[in-house]
Amino acid sequence: MKMLSLLHFDVLPLAKLEVGHHFYWHLGGLKLHGQVFLTSWVVIGLLLVASLLATRNPQRVPQGLQNLMEYVFEFIRDIAKAQLGEKEYRAWLPFVGTLFLFIFVSNWSGALLPWRVIEIPGGELAAPTGDINTTVALALLTSLAYFYAGFKKRGLGYFAKYVEPTPILLPIAILEDFTKPLSLSFRLFGNILADELVVAVLVLLVPLFIPLPVMMLGLFTSAIQALVFATLAAAYIHEALEGHGEEEAH
C-alpha cells in the first residue's frame, strides 16, 4: 500500500486515501478497529430504528416506512424461498435476511454517507464491509450456519455428503468448506474496497462530475454484492440441508 499512500495530498481533505490505517481501540490487550465498529453501529442503528418505526404501528394497508420494509421483507423472503425452498426457508430467513440487510446498508452507507468528513484520530470512516474482519466474520458465520443446518437436519449423516457420489471427490469436498468462506469474504471485501479506492482516486484526480458514473456503478455493485452474499449463503445452507444423495423435487 506504499504506492497508494504516495497519493496523500492535504489540498483536498475529502480525497485523501488511507488504506491500512486504523483507528485502534484497545480492549484488555485486544486490538479493535474502532472505525469499523463506529460505522457498523450506525448501520445497525439505522436498521433497528427503521424496523421499529415500520412495525411500531402496523396498518392493514401499509404506508410509508411500513410499506418499504414490507417490500424489503418480501424481497428477502423471495431470496430465501428461492434458495431454500418453501419448507425450510422460514427457519433461515432471519439469518439470510440480516446478512442481506447488514451488507446492503453497510455498502450503501459507504457510498452515500459522507463518512470521511468526520475526523477521527486514525484511519478514516468507511463502509464496515470494506474491512476484511467484517467480511470474514460474516463468511465464517455462514460456514457455521450451514454446518449447523446440516448436522441439525441429518446428524452425523451429514458427513456422508463428503463421500457422495464418490469418495474420489473427498479432497475437493473438504476443500470446498474452505473455499466457500474464503470466496464469500474476499468477494465482498474486494468489491467494496476496490469501489472506494476507485472513487477516491478519481475524486483525487478530477474532483467534480467525472467520478459520478463510477459512484453510480459503485452503488450498483454494492447492491449486487449484498444480494450475492445473501443468495450464496442461502444456497450453501440449502446444499447442507439437502445433501447430494437425496435430492428432492422442488
Partner 1 sequence: MFDFDATLPLMAIQFVLLTFLLNAVLFKPILKIIDERDEYVRTNQADAKAYLAETEALAKQYEQELADSRRQAQAMIAAAQAEAKETVAKQIADAQAQAQQQREQSQKALDEQKRDAFKSLEQQVDSLSQGILDKLLGSQAA
The binding site for partner 1 (CB under 8 A) comprises 1, 19-20, 22, 27, 30-33, 36-37, 40, 44, 47-48, 51-52, 54-55, 58, 60, 62, 66, 69-70, 73-74, 93-95, 97-98, 101-102, 128, 131-134, 136-138, 140-141, 193
Please name the residue that has the C-alpha cell 476484511. Answer: 132
Min. distance of Cβ 72 from partner 1 in angstroms? 9
Spell out the residues 6+ positions from residue 59 whose beta carbon is closer than 8 angstroms to its own.
Answer: 66
Paired residues of 33 in beta bridges: 24
Q: What span, in angstroms and rounded, lies between the C-alpha atoms of 242 and 158?
A: 9
Q: What span, in angstroms and rounded, lies between the C-alpha atoms of 184 and 201?
A: 26
Min. distance of Cβ 216 from partner 1 in angstroms? 26
Which residue's CB is nearer to partner 1, number 144 or number 212?
144
Min. distance of Cβ 86 from partner 1 in angstroms? 14
Contact 240, 162 (CB under 8 A): no
Contact 106, 188 (CB under 8 A): no
Which amino acid, residue 98? Answer: T
Min. distance of Cβ 151 from partner 1 in angstroms? 18
Which residue's CB is nearer to partner 1, number 69 or number 228?
69
Q: What span, in angstroms and rounded, lies between the C-alpha atoms of 172 and 162?
A: 9
- Count of alpha carbons within 13 Å of 230, Cβ hemisphere only? 28
Which residue's CB is nearer to partner 1, number 35 or number 161?
35
Which residue's CB is nearer to partner 1, number 33 or number 116?
33
Which amino acid, residue 25? Answer: W
Which residue's CB is nearer to partner 1, number 6 or number 249?
6
Q: What span, in angstroms and rounded, lies between the C-alpha atoms of 199 and 130?
A: 13
Which residue's CB is nearer to partner 1, number 99 or number 161?
99
Min. distance of Cβ 32 from partner 1 in angstroms? 5
Min. distance of Cβ 143 from partner 1 in angstroms? 11
Paired residues of 30 in beta bridges: 27
